Structure 1
Amino acid sequence: MSGWPTTTLGELIHVKHGFAFKGEYFADTGDKLVLKPGNFPVGGGIKLRPGKDGYYIGPYPPEFELAPGDMLVVMTDLTQAAPILGSPAIVPGAPIMLHNQRLGLVQIKPDANIDERFLYYSMLSESARSQIRATATGATVRHTAPERIYRVRIGFPDFPVQQVVGEILGAIDELIDNNRRRVQVLEEMARAIYREWFVRFRYPGHDAVPVVDSALGPIPEGWSVGTLDDIVSVSKASVDPARLDPDTPAVGLEHIPRQQLTLDDWGTAGTQGSRKAVFERGDVLFGKIRPYFHKVSVAPVDGICSTDAIVIRPNAAHWGQAVFTASSVEFVAHATQTSNGTKMPRADWKVLGKWPIPVPPAHISESFNDVARYHLSLSETLMFENRRLTALRDLLLPKLVTGQIDVSALDLNEVREKSVA
């Protein structure tokens, strides 16, 4: 490793098994989240999964309640390729998280001269995780154990070098996390404005407009009652992935992120499988299989996706209203109630398109379009920035934790000042 001495993780850490929480005490909601391997995305960290996370309402030993800053490592991966086996994560400040049995709590030994951030990125590196995969057991579900993790070898430079490496990579991840929080705030603000204007009818100038009766109840004078079909169309365009140019892969995705209008998780479409739906930038992608109706996103690019998503194309005049109507709690609940099928109930657009909506005058729609496009455009900008930052981190990480990039001459205070700037 570029002249660095090496050591085993067993010289530095102890890995503690989690608790076997009883299934009878699991709940869909609560304030204490039981972490599972599914909460650990490829690339490290912890990801909440609204609608899929399990909360615990029963008694448990207090030692299995995690503290912010604790480090975990995944010891079971449900897929054969095991992309997250051995992946580490740092526990965030909220919500309260519980240490489940398929995860290991990483505890640094008292005499280990190791920087925690450097340890985290060393364990996240492909070098470390490939060693864990190589010793894993199980044909389909892959398992590791503390004893196997202890045999993993990592580079072990002087402590000041560890600190600089940790600070550089940590600064990038902090920028990524900060951008994610900003996207969340922007989307929440836009949703709140939508509800004020189109649900409560408290739009600019509403005080001067009388209220009249309608099929939807009282609405402002000058508004009309329409349906979602009046402001959107559904694209049926599709493509056979086998006919795609293998040398120019198309932008594609199979799964829409949860409760996130800004679509930041896509890759390239493969040439295998069934026909793919074609979408354009600005289209609304609506997951049509229960329980994934809440998976609604606005496409930031042209591409193709699984036909398990409905491609909704808002007309320009009502673009913003269409986006936030399709992603509203009420519309998602309606899709759930009217879905058809037993094993995998599906939404029926012939029903969903008839969803009644209040249609405002043109000047109000135009004003809301300006608001919605501003918030979602800024969210997209942050999302694209995060993709660049993630690519930069993934490029630097293996080179920094193995000493291929020499940081020994860097001043730690200067690194901190630049990361703040």
Structure 2
Amino acid sequence: MKELFAFDFLSDQPDARIELTPAEFAKSQLRDGDLLFARRSFVLEGAGKCSLVIDPPESLTFESSMIRARPDPDKADSRFLFYYFRSPEGRARMASIAARTAVSGITGSNLAALEIDVPGVDAQREIAEILSLFDELIDNNRRRMQVLQNMARAIYREWFVKFRHPGDETVPIVDSALGPLPEGWSAGILDDIVTVSKASVDPAKIDPDMPAVGLEHIPRQQLTLDDWGTAGTQGSRKAVFERGDVLFGKIRPYFHKVSVAPVDGICSTDAIVIRPHAAHWGQAVFTASSAEFVAHATQTSNGTKMPRADWKVLGKWPIPVPPVHISESFNDVARYHLSLSETLMFENRRLTALRDLLLPKLVTGQIDVSALDLDEVREKSVA
């Protein structure tokens, strides 16, 4: 059920595969426009969490921990219902049927009997069209962010793994403790180019609006951190980080939660705050977030139920240390790509805030959708 909590829209996300008989598949097949609701959750807000199936590229099914709803298109628009159940009113209606036990949950019969006030289907489609516009822009920006990250990582691998730095093709290869390296390079360890910050603070003694990052905010396999809370909601002491630091989730490191901080703030002590030395910032960022380094963190973690990465081990990760001109050149490459990604991230936060402002007013009829010009909304949202 983790996919339901991780994604609002289900389409081409990688998932497990199972064998089904024709009868089983006919009973549990997912189609475009289906709604999936979480049957149970350890927290009340998670019970009834809704996701929308969009144009699945292949056969999809669902497990028993979910409830499938297939709206009648003549009476209800699937996208509108998805947005409705994201709104405060929709969440309140869902909470009204959730059982409040050790594990909160809803039943299919209660969901089917749930009464909601909605406009006519034409108005539903218009509202869904407006709200979908924001999500399409947000998703497009996320894809661009991933492309930028992939481009920078490809250059990192060319320079620091394959040693193909432009202009240095004729540099002799010499032996080193790491194996063959271009002349002028040296063998080192990650601790040579970073410092792990141990600074901490009591959240009650700082600005309550200061960004606060929990492990739940750090995205998987995405360098650009795009979500955080505030210090005013925190309790115990937190680690302190600065803009440009790398936040490495040390609990269950196989989740690959490694991101660059776009702001100053505080974070859970379950994240390692890695502060790259200025001269090697780009190399440090892409080394600490590489699949190989994360795999090493996983293999050397301590504990079984909640394995934790150990920096005493990770700091000894062997690295090639290049000449200054290569480090400086890659810093420029990394900062260029990641700054563009950061700009897109802040744009997404603005779009999300605007969408969430409109959402409850649209689904409850506080804003007359017929009075809205979709082209004007589109222009304002990308301005």
Q: Identify whether the pair has TM-score above 0.5, normalized to the shorter chain.
A: yes
| 1:175-196 C-alpha deviation (Å, 9 max, x unpaired) | 0111111111111111111111
| 1:278-329 C-alpha deviation (Å, 9 max, x unpaired) | 0000001111223446211100000111111111100111100000001112
Tell me if 1:45 matches 2:9: yes
Contact 1:37–1:74 (CA<8 Å) still a contact in 2?
Answer: no
2:35 counterpart residue number:
72
Amino acid at match of 2:335: R
CA spacing shift, 1:211–1:311, aligned 2, 3 Å: same
2:106 counterpart residue number:
144
CA spacing shift, 1:419–1:314, aligned 2, 3 Å: closer
Q: Which runs of 5+ in 2 are unaligned?
A: none
Q: Aligned equivalents of 2:274 and 2:63: distance in 1?
A: 40
Larger helix percent: 2
Contact 2:33–2:78 (CA<8 Å) still a contact in 1?
Answer: no
SS at match of 1:120: helix
Contact 2:253–2:308 (CA<8 Å) still a contact in 1?
Answer: no
Amino acid at match of 1:175: L
Amino acid at match of 2:230: T
Tell me if 1:108 matches 2:71: yes
Contact 1:211–1:219 (CA<8 Å) still a contact in 2?
Answer: yes
Q: Aligned equivalents of 1:322 and 1:94: distance in 2?
A: 38
Q: Aligned equivalents of 2:79 and 2:278: distance in 1?
A: 48
TM-score normalised according to structure 1 size: 0.81
How far did residue 206 of structure 1 move?
A: 3.2
Q: Aligned equivalents of 1:47 and 1:241: distance in 2?
A: 40
1:220 pairs with one of 175, 182, 194: 182
Contact 1:70–1:105 (CA<8 Å) still a contact in 2?
Answer: no
Contact 2:130–2:374 (CA<8 Å) still a contact in 1?
Answer: no
Amino acid at match of 2:213: L
| 1:321-353 C-alpha deviation (Å, 9 max, x unpaired) | 000001112211222232234443332222221
Tell me if 1:56 matches 2:17: yes
2:127 counterpart residue number:
165
Q: Report the aligned-residue RMSD.
A: 2.7
1:380 counterpart residue number:
342
Amino acid at match of 1:329: A
Q: Aligned equivalents of 1:76 and 1:204: distance in 2?
A: 55
| 1:349-388 C-alpha deviation (Å, 9 max, x unpaired) | 2222121111111111111111111111111111111111
How far did residue 261 of structure 1 move?
A: 0.7
Amino acid at match of 1:254: G
2:52 counterpart residue number:
89
1:238 pairs with one of 194, 200, 205: 200
Contact 2:11–2:53 (CA<8 Å) still a contact in 1?
Answer: no
Tell me if 1:285 matches 2:247: yes
Tell me if 1:197 matches 2:159: yes
CA spacing shift, 1:73–1:338, aligned 2, 3 Å: closer
SS at match of 1:385: helix
Contact 2:41–2:47 (CA<8 Å) still a contact in 1?
Answer: no
CA spacing shift, 1:292–1:254, aligned 2, 3 Å: farther
| 1:1-20 C-alpha deviation (Å, 9 max, x unpaired) | xxxxxxxxxxxxxxxxxxxx
